[in-house]
Amino acid sequence: MIAADPGREFAISRTEPFAGTLEWRYRLGPEDGGTRLTESYEVTRPITPVGWFIIGTLFGGKDRRSDLHRGMQETLRKIAAVAEEEVSPR
């Protein structure tokens, strides 16, 4: 864990062999009676040439930035679904 400020922000770092290191950050803030969650990332150690080969050849990845953004959108949808389920009356 890189940062942990309950109700405001948390961040983690993930390193994978040959695939570099990414820091993922989640910030929370009030918005229109609810909460806005913003996800971002920073590359702190770039992907190696072997990593690019693996991503492109074995996984068919062509546009890493677009792949990361699609993954971020999916993560935010899943977090929203869990958060909304937990606050809904049963």
40-77 pLDDT, tens digit per residue, is 999 999 989 998 888 888 877 678 788 888 988 999 89
Q: What's the rounded Cα separation, in Å, for the pair 75 and 86?
A: 17
Contacts 24+ apart (CB under 8 A), 2-7: none
11-38 pLDDT, tens digit per residue, is 999 998 888 999 999 999 999 988 999 9
Beta bridge partners of 40: 25
**Chain centroid offset of residue 29 CA:** 17
User: What's the pLDDT score for residue 53?
Assistant: 86
